[in-house]
Amino acid sequence: MPASEKASSPDRSPPGSPAGRPAIGSPFAVASFVILTAAALAGDLLSKHLVFDSLLNDPQLQARLAHVLEAHGADLTAREALRFFNRPVAPGVRMSLSTNPGVVFGLPMQRALVAVATAAIVAVVCYFFAVSGVRLHGVHAALALILAGALGNLYDRLFAEVRMPGFEPIRHQVRDFIDCSGLHYPWVFNVADVWLVVGVAVLAVHWVAGARPSRKTEPSGKKHA
């Protein structure tokens, strides 16, 4: 076979070889996937806890709440009152407390349906990791971020509770705090949402790049009919 044809022929590595082996058969790939998922999940949950704790466990909280209710009406709900607790962190970016009872962009959905949909996402992500090539480290990282983002928001929908004095606790809603409204992005989001977007973007780039037709180099001197 000419050298040019060897270069352009597809990879025919047998399944047992490192190139063709699925990720589930590699202890290193599995451990890396689990560790990255756990680290990303911990980062999401810890960031939510620290931000909400720092803004709500404030010695001046009672006085600030009284001022908010006096200025905006005593009939404010807990979710409405939360938006008055914020802190600038960078030009155009603030930490603003918010909760989301629905799914992406605040779209409503019953909690049971969200749990079922998240379980389906987890199963699909784990399946794609298991059957992916052992050397596709970028794909594994993207899948780990998607898994961590889905689990982070699911945790909130199952267990999260936000308390403020004088209000009923806000339960089973996703905690959001990254506010880029100064950069003309209207939705408040969290670290789990960032993981989801980054993971999906990496997968999209990988699939688009893999879908491009390869250019085959023909031997010099070969003539077309």
Over residues 36-59, the pLDDT tens digits come to 999 999 999 999 999 999 999 888
Whole-angstrom Cα distance, residue 162 to residue 155? Answer: 13
Whole-angstrom Cα distance, residue 173 to residue 186? Answer: 19
- Tens of pLDDT along the chain (225 residues) come to 444 444 444 443 333 334 468 999 999 999 999 999 999 999 999 999 999 999 998 888 888 888 888 888 878 889 999 988 999 999 999 999 999 987 665 566 677 788 888 899 999 999 999 999 999 999 999 999 999 999 999 999 999 999 998 899 999 999 999 999 999 999 999 999 999 999 999 999 999 987 766 554 445 445 554
Q: Is 75 a residue of the active site?
A: no
Q: Is 176 a residue of the active site?
A: yes
Catalytic: which of 44, 156, 179, 193? 193
